[in-house]
Structure 1
Amino acid sequence: MTHHTLNYVEFAAADLAATQTFFESVFGWQFQSYGPEYVAFSESGLEGGFFLSDVAASQAQGAPLLVLYSDDLEQTQQAIEQAGATINKAIFSFPGGRRFHFIEPSGNELAVWSDK
């Protein structure tokens, strides 16, 4: 571990099983259950977990936006949609790349970007 660097992130999740299945199938994250109210993930670039809760993170409400990287933005968007997530901001360009935002099964907003 490196001193003073981001090390772990936690998300609320209303449906731990659906959220775990989504991130496993789309992004290949690995999970470890710690009982009925918490599941940790790894193989994501930044380790973290989901805790059982009825709230969700959204950029509009001031929550931090976690952004994943993709080598193929359109393919990733298609996989996300096929896995049941909702695209809430279509692909748009910005200096240095393109990205889109999505809502995963428990209601948390994340984004995916690419420099391609």
Structure 2
Amino acid sequence: MLTTAFAPGSPNWLDLTSPDAPASVAFYSTVFGWTFEPAGPESGGYGFFQQDGRTVAALGPGGEAARPGWTVYFCTADADRTTELVEAAGGKVRLAPFTVFTDGRAAGYTDPTGAAFAVWEPRDTPGLDAVDEPGTFCWAECFSVDAEAAKAFYRAVFSWQEQDVPLGDVMYTVLTPAGGGTEDAHGGIVQLGPEHTAAGTTSHWLPYIEVPNVDAAVALAGQLGATVRTAPADVHGVGRLAQLTDPHGAAFAVITSSVEGG
């Protein structure tokens, strides 16, 4: 489960790159009940999705060359040091560390298997205001064309602890920040199957949003132009979940967690 304690290596921010910010605001506000608060004239169009006045995600307009998508950020105490570790482990730097007013510092990377992610070094803004409750970010999942290579990379960068768990026909690796317990697990890594790679699916991080009713969320999103990647299904001990792409092609997942799953 995610928490707002934001230990180093845990997810602490989530934002969307969109080619049509107003349309994306309308879509996610309808599906999740979010409101949108622009960050201000100096932000270049960046702004915050909010629930009950708390920031639960963010959105930034993308240029013509930008690929629509959600980016998962992980907490770091030193973005410059993390950049060094990423490069040493074979990753690529998409955005070198930069300062965001007095809020913190950010950097963006691509892991050796092709999955994009970012880090946030907190200063005045530790991270999201709410996680792991209905309408908020609750889990991060890396689908990789080479799960073993991905695990080695993230282990070198974040010192994540790993636990391999059989999940149906696949082996799922549960991720926990260094020094954390099983209750601090924040995400997972799973190998993409040949049917996915044959269809053109590449390595990527997928954010999960907790919802009260997965089927209702999927139906509503579909009415608004979303595409269902995987239909709602029950996973024992985890909950009921589904994967979608929004009208612009950004992938995300929704889940109604079971009591056992948190």
Question: What stretches of structure 2 of length at least 5 have no aligned partner?
Answer: 71-142, 144-200
Counterpart mapping for 1:94-105 below 5 A: 94-96=235-237, 97-105=239-247
Q: Give distance in 2, aligned partners of 1:68 and 1:43.
A: 13
* Aligned equivalent of 2:58: 49
* Aligned equivalent of 2:36: 31
RMSD of aligned C-alpha atoms?
Answer: 2.6
Sort the Cα spacing of 1:94 and 1:3 in 2 relative to 1 into closer, same or farther, 3 A: closer
Query: What displacement does 1:7 show?
Result: 3.1
Question: What stretches of structure 1 of length at least 5 have no aligned partner?
Answer: none
**% identical aligned pairs:** 21
Q: Give distance in 2, aligned partners of 1:3 and 1:100.
A: 26
Q: Give distance in 1, aligned partners of 2:233 and 2:204.
A: 20
Residue pair 2:21, 2:59 contacting (<8 A) in 1 also: yes
Highest relative contact order (Cα 8 Å, sep 6+), 1 or 2?
A: 1
Counterpart mapping for 1:11-90 below 5 A: 11-33=16-38, 34-35=40-41, 37-43=45-51, 47-53=56-62, 54-57=66-69, 60-90=201-231
Structure 1 runs, 4 residues or longer, greater than 6 Å off: none
Sort the Cα spacing of 1:65 and 1:101 in 2 relative to 1 into closer, same or farther, 3 A: same
Aligned length: 116
Sort the Cα spacing of 1:88 and 1:46 in 2 relative to 1 into closer, same or farther, 3 A: farther
